[in-house]
Amino acid sequence: MRVLIVGAGGIGGYFGGRLVEKGEDVTFLVRHNRKQQLDENGLVIESVHGNMEFKPKTLLSGEPAEPFDVILLSTKAYHLQGAIKSTKPYVTENTMILPLLNGIAHVDELRAAFGDDKVIGGLCFIETTLDEQGKVIQTSPIHDLVFGEFSGEKTDRIQKLQATFQGTKASFRLSENIEQDMWHKYQFIATLSGVTSIFRSPIGPIRDQEYGVNTIQTLLQEVGGVMRSVAAPLADEIEANQFEKIMQMGYNMKSSLQRDMEKGLKTEADHFFGYLLKISKEKQLSTPVISTIYANLEIYEDQ
């Protein structure tokens, strides 16, 4: 299959690189500056699962290219519309769109842009970033990409995609319940991002405080309540499982949203929390912790 990775950052660069390492046909859609960097230095991955370096095939927006079978999107939510515009010329009748964004709001945007049938579900679990030289630095034992049809069916196209993803040094997993997986991750990421951003702290010190733990529990319940109000397919015991997972995380673990704040960067406040508050207002739900987190992020971004 012909694979187009939108961007060559920490996530796209890593998973795309592992596919190239296997021998798959992968092209990276990049901006001018990133193309120049890749042309000069190659795509360099430093990972606990093995380093690699190669000269990637790159494409600038608007340049002609043969059709792609799957387009992998791993942009930040606030870059999604730009990514949609850049990729539209490369989408044909049989192209699959595989998003790896956190949250859920992007699914409707992608369906509106490309059609319901082209969008499949996806998410990833990985700690990775670009350093100042543009190297992909991947540090976590976990490097999982999960994908699947929203219907849960093992269609011909999803089985072909599974065959493309198999046999790499990364973990690509086909899910028969990808929609639930995406909602579960959304709840987890919203909670972790929410508490670490509001307290400006890694998760460990927050857990050390009684009211920090209470805030984690309350936020999990608020987020779960909002999600269930729109019939999100959450598991019955998911809040308890998410809480246990958060309590077992490394003491110094930070969310990517918190790291963005520390760097003075834009955050995904609207995508994570604005979306939940919109539902909360429509359903007349009380969500004081979510509201406080969102207000904190809005104040940060206005400064």
Which residues are part of the catalytic machinery? 185
Give the pair of three-digit tokens for residue 265. 């960067």
Q: If phi over 0 gives left and psi between -120 and 50 gives alpha, with beta otherwise, what is residue 171?
A: beta
Q: Which residues pair with 144 in a beta bridge?
A: 125, 171
Distances, alpha carbon 95 to alpha carbons 92, 98, 104, 119, in Å: 5, 10, 21, 9
- The DSSP call for residue 119 is B
Burial 155-192 (b: 16+ CB within 10 A, else e): eebbeebeebbeebebbbebbeebbbbbbbbbbbbbbb
Q: Tell me how many degrees the CA angle 253-258-264 measures, rounded to the nearest 5.
A: 140
- For residues 181 and 263, give the distance between their C-alpha atoms in angstroms, rounded to a whole number: 30
How far is the C-alpha of 259 from the C-alpha of 263, rounded, in Å? 6
What six digits make up the tokens of 22?
């296997």
Give the residue carrying structure tokens 């976990």: 142
Q: Give the side-chain half-sphere CA count within 13 A for 287.
A: 30
Q: What are the φ and ψ backbone dihedral angles of 65, each rounded to 5 degrees?
A: -160, 155
